[in-house]
Amino acid sequence: MSKITGQQKTDSHFSKIASKYKELRTTDTDHIQHIKNQLSKKSQIVMADIGCGDGRYSIELLKCLEDSSYLHCIDFNESMIKHLKKYLISQDILNFCAAPGDASKLPLESDTMDYIVTFNAIHHFDIQKFLAEVYECLKEDGRAFIYTRLRNQNSRNIWGQYFPLFSEMEDRLFEFDELQYAIKKADMKIIHTNVFGHNRTSSLTDLVNKAKNKHYSTFDLYSESEFKKSLKVFKQNITDNFDDMENIQWQDENILIEIGK
């Protein structure tokens, strides 16, 4: 029997949750507004959203664009692409195309993209191959935006602080200096960085449901016994550290990196 690869396991995870992904994840839009402010005033912008998932950020991007602009939606997972198409068409959005594709070999023509974006997905890519593809596909004055959480940011959120092994399990995330090195190695440069803090409030019941439904793919890295044990400790940690189980508050952090040639 062949061994299941990490990529296959990740693909299986996203196939399982594709139909409910929007409900499991919080869709922040402050970084989308920031990107909108950086977009050129051209009426016909061509963009690509890599690792687009079910389209929860794609639709926010499309709201920022003129109808004459166009968005290429690309994701490795075919189930996510199917739900994205259904979702965008239900919103009467037609100026997009969506196709399964590998971030290491983008199905885009050279020198055709004004902007390339990726949201909360870079840790699933071979970053050096992805950046080489970005360099190839961007126009000379094009820009790419990478939105992600760093390892240190991940360790400070409610899961990193109180859910056993969460930070240790999630070893795919980068630190800023690692991203900086990879970008430089790809003959690209960082134009600007922004850190976004998002204040969260949730009940313990909702947090437990999110973990059980594996709203972060990190939870899929646990064995069944590890997860059950860690979830039990998590509930106790929350009970010990918060007074109101209906009003648990914390902050999530993400970074947005704008890069160019």
Query: Does residue 254 or residue 7 have the better pLDDT?
Result: 254
What was the pLDDT predicted at 64? 85
Q: What is the pLDDT of residues 222-240, one digit of tens each?
A: 999 999 999 999 999 999 9
196-222 tens-digit pLDDT: 999 999 999 999 999 999 889 899 999
pLDDT (average), residues 103-127: 96
- In this predicted structure, what is the pLDDT of residue 27? 76
- Model confidence, pTM: 0.89
Q: Give domain 6-151+171-197+252-260's CATH architecture.
A: 3-Layer(aba) Sandwich (3.40)
Q: How far apart are CA 154 and CA 202, in angstroms?
A: 18
Instruction: Provide the pLDDT for residue 10.
Output: 53
35-62, pLDDT tens digit by residue? Answer: 999 888 888 999 999 999 989 899 999 9
**Which of 54, 35, 55, 33 has the alpha carbon at shortest distance from 45?**
35
Q: What confidence score (pLDDT) does residue 18 get?
A: 42
Per-residue CA distances from 9 to 70, 87, 125 (Å): 32, 25, 14
b (16+ CB within 10 A) / e for 172-202: ebbebeebbebbeebebeeeeeeebeeeeeb
- For the chain, the average pLDDT equals 90
Which pLDDT belongs to residue 226?
97
